[in-house]
A and B are shown apart, each in its own frame.
Chain A
């Protein structure tokens, strides 16, 4: 299993600014993922964070808007750039532990853009 923490847990940001969300795992994970959950909605995958290479983005998400870093097997960051109110969501990271199949999720970062 894995325990995943995220920072910050919530933030209120002004339009046009950027926020970097950190995701820390207590064990090495093979894959890390970033999801967005808009209010009252399901989860949508933003990108897969690959260690040592660029992230793989899903349709509708681009690197300039959501740059991702993954410097090692236990840490990743997601930046939400040039924010607008439409970016107000919960952002969750997850990881799959080496040798296991399921994904473990962090508690999420609740972002409000004013």
Chain B
């Protein structure tokens, strides 16, 4: 079945450091891929998405590219801020876009001044 694997956290960085959070997936067909962010005490917010191979999703300085050949959707940011401290979830949905989401385990990011 479909699944998502994320790098384990926590990830601890200094402000302005480069961030990579790895995400790989297993799926049949052509899933859509998402990154969601959960700030402390809040619900999930969609950070970015990509719906087909080679698409690059971007938002708030974060980027991720849908790599079908490596079944990956790694999240990157060139310079993190303290306000980026949160839990990041990689997720996929089946073909069609309306299907249920399958989430990775989540990666906690802590950014220190």
Minimal Cβ-Cβ distance residue in A for B51: A101
Q: Count of A residues near B, CB < 8 Å?
A: 20
Interchain CB contact under 8 A, B103 and A102: no
Residues of B within 8 A of A81 (CB): none
Say yes or no: A102-B46 contact (C-beta < 8 A), given A42-B103, A43-B103, A48-B100.
yes
Q: Looking at the complex, which one of A101, A106, A107 makes contact with B97 (CB distance below 8 Å)?
A: A101
Say yes or no for A31: interface residue by CB 8 A criterion. Answer: yes
A41–B89 Cα distance when bound, in Å, is 11
Residue in contact with A105 in the complex, picked from B44, B93, B102, B105, CB distance below 8 Å: B44
With A30-B98, A31-B98, A105-B44 in contact, is A42–B49 under 8 Å at CB? no
Where chain A touches its partner, the secondary structure class is strand
Main secondary structure of the interface of B (DSSP, over half): strand
A-to-B contact residues, CB < 8 Å: 30-31, 33, 41-43, 45, 48, 92, 94, 96, 100-108
Q: Nearest 5 A-B pairs (CB), nearest first?
A: A101-B97, A107-B43, A105-B44, A105-B43, A43-B103
Can you give 30 contacting A-B residue pairs, CB < 8 Å?
A30-B98, A31-B98, A33-B101, A41-B106, A42-B103, A42-B104, A42-B105, A45-B101, A45-B102, A48-B100, A92-B44, A94-B44, A94-B101, A96-B97, A100-B97, A101-B93, A101-B97, A102-B34, A102-B46, A102-B49, A102-B97, A103-B46, A103-B93, A103-B101, A104-B46, A105-B43, A105-B44, A105-B45, A107-B43, A108-B42
